[in-house]
Amino acid sequence: MTPLLVLADVSAGYGGAHDAISGVSLTAAAGERIAVLGPNGGGKTTLFRVLTGELPHRGSVRQAGRAAIVPQTERSRLDFPVSALDVVLMGTIAGRPWWRRAGRRERAAARAALAAVGLEDRAGASFGALSGGQRQRVLIARALVQDARVLLLDEPFTGLDAPSAERLEALTGALAAEGRAILIATHDLEQARGWERVLCLNRRAIACGTPEAVLTPEAVAATYGGSLVRVDGGGLVILPAHHH
Amino acid sequence: MAHALLDPWRDPTVRRALLELVLIAASAGALGVWVVLLELSYAAESLAHAMFPGLVLAALTGLPLLLGGAAGLAGGAVGVGLAARSGDAETGVAVAITALFGLGVLIALSPASPPGIEGLLFGDPLAVSGADLALATALAVIVLGSLAVLHGRLALLGFDRGGARALGVRAGRLDLLVVGLIAVSVLVAVQGLGNLLVVAVLIAPAATARRLTRRLAPMMVLAAGLAALAGLGGIYVSYYAGVAAGAAIAGVMVATYLAGTLAAGLVPHP
């Protein structure tokens, strides 16, 4: 299968003494969902910024077109006066000359993207008035309208109730099945077990492969360090980060 | 009653003042929405104050006010740039702007200054000329045209500044463009509304409209309409109460904002 994304020995940082990520290699093929596991500050966002072209890097990045990112909904201003359709239309900006406004073609594409995530009837709703799950799906529609074959989802399940999380899980599966590669930053080990592959990242790639091969106590412990605990029954739980 | 309503408009200077105010309202109302949404109110006020020494010097030397204001803005930009290097950028900017404004007031109110120069502080919409009207028309075309073209990008910038780059929008360049539009608007509007009151037309109608609607396009139309109505109301207040027109207009805008805030609290949001 032709890979949609090939990273070889990629390093990037923010100008400090140490790189935020170093020596990361990864291949993603169409139809794959890849969990990107790692602690806060471990380099997940840095990796995504490299893939969207926002951050310069060393090493080789080859991908089919530019990846589209689906940020955490908390990063957006919920009080900003935009509708769901307005938000999706933002995904068409890069494809237009600077002087051209969104026209009929872009609006049709945006409505189609909203339909693909099951929100065609909420196009006119204020973004801030939508539920957390609906907002996440609007942002996925914004990524879809960019025609990207590689999608980057930044902790999309954070704060979602169980039905919304299930719906989003099914949506990511459907989008991957349509021939996309999807990288999903997450802390949920059990959810990651249901996806095709896992990349454990803590400034460097700790492990990468199928969930069965990668999600061993040793690899997860090396990724999360002291924030990982073993609970009754043998399961592993990641403790939320403490901010002092 | 009808006589009282029509009486002010018998004077052609009053009619010309209203036309000037409506033209400025159209551009300032729409631009003001972005000033409020992008949290640039302090920048707008700073720009207005920074140009004051230039306006005063132009008035004293007989140069066009537009030229003096532009020179004042350029001087202000240099001052702010130097002050911002002091480490605490916001404090540096505040000190530079206050110093520039103080310098302008010092010159304007010195005994050697000719009478009437305080009009630069408080403005006089009734003194607008044909050239002022032409400038206000050009301003409306430039500002509204720019905002129409940039609408989607500005919405992205306000909604998700951190993600703008990934979607093909460079926030720094867009910020500069918006600040440039604010500078041009202030430069044109300051001649009618005065240096102290010009910011009111950018901020108050937009802030009022934001409280009354959650849609961008209606917000801009409402802000422009409110600014024009405040101009109309201010002219009546000025005519019948015998107070300065610029101050009366700013007063009506603030009163509209307070009424809008009250109305927004009483009526459930759409």
Are A82 and B168 in contact (CB < 8 Å)? no
Whether residue A236 is predicted with pLDDT greater than 90 in this model: the reply is no
Minimal Cβ distance to B151: which of A52, A92, A101: A101
If pLDDT is split at 50, 70 and 90, which confidence band does B268 have? low
User: Could you give the CA distance from residue A126 to residue B213 in angstroms, rounded to a whole number?
Assistant: 11
Beta-ladder partners of A152: A69, A183
Range ranked top by mean pLDDT from A106-120, A153-167, B85-99: A106-120
Among A151, B89, B111, B160, residue whose Cα is nearest residue A137: A151
More confident residue, B120 or B40: B40
Whether residue B269 is predicted with pLDDT greater than 60 in this model: the reply is no
What separation, in Å, do the N-terminal and C-terminal C-alpha atoms of chain B show? 36
Beta-ladder partners of A29: A3
Whether residue B266 is predicted with pLDDT greater than 90 in this model: the reply is no
Q: What is the pTM of this model?
A: 0.88
pLDDT reported for residue B204: 95
pLDDT reported for residue A158: 87
pLDDT reported for residue A243: 45
Distance from CA of B201 to the nearest CA of A (A): 21
User: Could you give the CA distance from residue A174 to residue B14 in angstroms, rounded to a whole number?
Assistant: 66
Mean pLDDT of all residues in chain A?
Answer: 90
Residues from B contacting A (CB-CB < 8 Å) are 37, 148-149, 151-153, 155-156, 158-160, 162-163, 165-169, 210, 213-216, 219
Minimal Cβ distance to A75: which of B149, B152, B163: B163
Task: Give me the residue label for tokens 């940039």.
Answer: B150
If pLDDT is split at 50, 70 and 90, which confidence band does B64 have? confident
User: CA A197, A201, A202: angle at the middle one, nearest 5?
Assistant: 165
Whether residue A74 is predicted with pLDDT greater than 90 in this model: the reply is no
pLDDT reported for residue A35: 97
**Backbone φ and ψ of B73, nearest 5°:** -65, -45
Q: Among A5-14, B129-138, B194-203, where is mean pLDDT lowest?
A: B194-203
pLDDT reported for residue A244: 41
pLDDT reported for residue A8: 96
Question: ipTM score here?
Answer: 0.87
Are B163 and A69 in contact (CB < 8 Å)? yes
If pLDDT is split at 50, 70 and 90, which confidence band does A237 have? low
Average pLDDT, stretch A95-117?
A: 94
DSSP 8-state code for residue A56: -
More confident residue, B253 or A242: B253
Minimal Cβ distance to A101: which of B149, B165, B219: B149
pLDDT reported for residue A204: 94
Whether residue A235 is predicted with pLDDT greater than 70 in this model: the reply is no
Minimal Cβ distance to A81: which of B163, B165, B219: B219
More confident residue, A232 or B222: B222
What Cα–Cα distance (Å) separates residue A156 from each residue in A188, B65, B264? 11, 55, 34
Are B216 and A94 in contact (CB < 8 Å)? no
pLDDT reported for residue B3: 80
**Three state DSSP letters for B106-127:** HHHCCCCCCCCCCHHHHCCHHH
Residues contacting residue B63 through CB under 8 Å, at least 6 positions apart? B57
pLDDT reported for residue A206: 94
Average pLDDT, stretch A29-37?
A: 96
User: Could you give the CA distance from residue B239 to residue B235 in angstroms, rounded to a whole number?
Assistant: 6
DSSP symbols for chain B? -HHHHHGGGGSHHHHHHHHHHHHHHHHHHHHHHHHHHTT-HHHHHHHHHHTHHHHHHHHHHT--HHHHHHHHHHHHHHHHHHHGGGS-HHHHHHHHHHHHHHHHHHHHTSTTSPTTTTHHHH--GGG--HHHHHHHHHHHHHHHHHHHHHHHHHHHHHH-GGGTGGGT--HHHHHHHHHHHHHHHHHHHHHHH-TTTHHHHHHHHHHHHHHH-S-HHHHHHHHHHHHHHHHHHHHHHHHHH---HHHHHHHHHHHHHHHHHHHHHHSPP-
Average pLDDT, stretch B31-42?
A: 94
Average pLDDT, stretch B132-157?
A: 95
Each residue of B93-136: pLDDT tens digit?
888 888 988 998 888 888 877 777 777 887 888 888 899 899 99
Average pLDDT, stretch B43-56?
A: 88
List the single residue in A with minimal CA-CA distance to B168: A94
pLDDT reported for residue A233: 58
